[in-house]
Amino acid sequence: MTSLTRADWEQRAKTLKVEGRAFIHGEYCAAQSGATFECISPVDGRLLAQVVSCDAPDAEIAVAGARATFDSGVWSRLAPVKRKAVMIRFADLIEQHGEELALLETLDMGKPIGDSLHIDVTSAARAIRWSGEAIDKIYDEVAATPHDELGLVTREPIGVVAAIVPWNFPLLMSCWKLGPALATGNSVILKPSEKSPLTAIRIAQLAIEAGIPAGVFNVLPGYGHTVGKALALHMDVDTLVFTGSTKIAKQLMVYAGESNMKRVWLEAGGKSPNIVFADAPDLKAAAEAAAGAIAFNQGEVCTAGSRLLVENSIKEQFVPLVVEAIKSWKPGNPLDPATNVGALVDSTQMNNVLGYIQAGHDDGAKLVAGGKRVLEETGGTYVEPTIFDGVDNAMRIAKEEIFGPVLSVIGFDTVEEAVAIANDTVYGLAAAVWTSNLSKAHLTAKALRAGSVWVNQYDGGDMTAPFGGFKQSGNGRDKSLHAFDKYTELKATWIKL
Ligand code: NAD
């Protein structure tokens, strides 16, 4: 815990050293073109840094360096027990610099400082440490062979990994990729979002301090259509791992097909249903969780519980409980430790969200909470957590990922109807079910086409469980040992004895 006040954080923000350069082969550097872009804080519009804007020539240099480092074996062939020690040091350093990283994250993307510190930084360090700790405990396989043969099934690092990540959990999404990618011995080029590049840039230095050799971990800040595209089309990138929107995820599959058929692993969007049955064990707890599921991180969460499906027999009683619960989620200055809803990442995103609120009105949904931009005088981009009742699943606010704090409440009468509405989406990332009937919980969970299902809670999980999507929410899984599949090739070696 930290005892820092808003004034303390403001003071630290004034003297914070913000690094905006790319990190290639162990050193911070400018782009070949010299180009930069402005990094503006959504908290109040302050300029945080000029950030290097990389493009194809920078990708060329970084990929060549990453390839040479991989081939040298300095990291890829290091004994797992030694890689483990370095990874654990890296995690320790992230924790030791936790307050600095949390401040960078909050200033850069607008999330509450308490969340940055206690959720993002903590979970990021855990992702690195957990992956590192696992790497000397995994065994390969021996196939069932005739007596005079030996079949070895081994995993090898895949080579050069490009990781393209979004802005909603910048450090954490980076570390979900970096943990297993580095632990398994690959060289990595990380491309953070242009909306929130600062923590990715900062941890590159910490990686070097931890002992990760130069060239193994590189960071190329810049835009998606420039350096992101260059990495995705590069003929010498072996694997592309991505978290972001479904639209860009599809584009990346095209780039892979147009270039070297690099493996493409995608964590994409969501429109997750949160189903509350009349026999939920505790309606107040379910209502509080439903409010948190859309307000946490300003609703900028891939698993946001953005569709609240409520059994009609309790709807009149339940919706007011959610409206009451959401009052405790109030936009405020993200540097104030008491704030639980910060700023949206930028004015483009804020205008998207306000556009969806207008669409809700236009389509005839009934606004029952929020609905407005607030704190405009701060120069920041804040929107109230918003609830629409009387939503039909065909309305835009129920179909499209808003990626902001806008909840759609939809009524249903039977289990079958709830499941049909829940699955009537192109996405399949997460879902929740509230009931005290064990069989109903299991049967509904089985029927839901989603990578994560929560029962009588929203958003549970840990590094120990895989995370990812069905349908257009993506392929493959982050977290857990299953994540290692993305970063290794399987080899069969067959020996005649
Ligand atoms: P985005 O798809 O716009 O951008 C993601 C990344 O892709 C950024 O780094 C961006 O610069 C890059 N990019 C954009 N165009 C590119 C191109 N043509 N070639 C290569 N790279 C390109 O997504 P976003 O707005 O940053 O993030 C929000 C999205 O992320 C939401 O859809 C959300 O659901 C999703 N998300 C998913 C998960 C998950 O685990 N499934 C987690 C967090 C966020």
Cα 163 to middle of ligand 1, angstroms: 11
Q: Do domains 18-266 and 273-461 have the same CATH topology?
A: no
- Across residues 348-358, what is the average pLDDT? 98
Ligand 1, atom 11: nearest CA belongs to which residue? 224
Question: Are 178 and 255 spatial neighbours (Cβ–Cβ below 8 Å)?
Answer: no
> Is 292 touching ligand 1 by the criterion CB < 6 Å?
no
Residues 6 or more apart whose Cβ sits within 8 Å of residue 297: 111, 115, 168, 169, 304
> Is 302 touching ligand 1 by the criterion CB < 6 Å?
yes
* Residue ranges per structural domain of the chain: 18-266, 273-461
2 — pLDDT class (breaks 50, 70, 90): confident
Percent of the chain with pLDDT over 90: 99
pLDDT in tens, 127-182: 999 999 999 999 999 999 999 999 999 999 999 999 999 999 999 999 999 999 99
List active site positions.
267, 302
pLDDT in tens, 259-308: 999 999 999 999 999 999 999 999 999 999 999 999 999 999 999 999 99
pLDDT in tens, 14-34: 999 999 999 999 999 999 999
1 — pLDDT class (breaks 50, 70, 90): low
> Is 225 touching ligand 1 by the criterion CB < 6 Å?
yes
Q: How far apart are CA 24 and CA 65, in angstroms?
A: 8
> Is 264 touching ligand 1 by the criterion CB < 6 Å?
no
Answer whether residue 404 shows pLDDT above 80: yes
To the nearest whole number, what is the mean pLDDT of the chain?
98
Smallest CA-to-CA distance from 54 within 187, 214, 221 is with 221
- For residue 45 the two structure tokens come to 């519009």
User: Would you identify the CATH topology of the domain 18-266?
Assistant: Aldehyde Dehydrogenase; Chain A, domain 1 (3.40.605)
- For residue 61 the two structure tokens come to 């240099």
> What top-level class would CATH report for the domain 273-461?
alpha beta
- Across residues 315-332, what is the average pLDDT? 98
Cα 276 to middle of ligand 1, angstroms: 30
> Is 197 touching ligand 1 by the criterion CB < 6 Å?
no
Taking CA 330 as the corner, what is the angle to CA 391 and CA 294, rounded to the nearest 5 degrees? 40
pLDDT in tens, 85-99: 999 999 999 999 999
Answer whether residue 311 shows pLDDT above 80: yes
Provide φ and ψ at 19, rounded to 5°. -90, 130
Smallest CA-to-CA distance from 125 within 198, 217, 240, 203 is with 203
Ligand 1, atom 19: nearest CA belongs to which residue? 229
Residues 6 or more apart whose Cβ sits within 8 Å of residue 324: 287
pLDDT in tens, 424-460: 999 999 999 999 999 999 999 999 999 999 999 999 9
Ligand 1, atom 22: nearest CA belongs to which residue? 224
Global pTM value: 0.98
> Is 270 touching ligand 1 by the criterion CB < 6 Å?
yes
Q: What is the pLDDT of residue 48?
A: 98
Question: Are 104 and 198 spatial neighbours (Cβ–Cβ below 8 Å)?
Answer: yes
- Across residues 463-471, what is the average pLDDT? 98
Q: For residue 244, which atom of ligand 1 is closest to its CA?
A: 30
Answer whether residue 354 shows pLDDT above 90: yes
- For residue 395 the two structure tokens come to 């309305």
Question: Are 227 and 59 spatial neighbours (Cβ–Cβ below 8 Å)?
Answer: yes
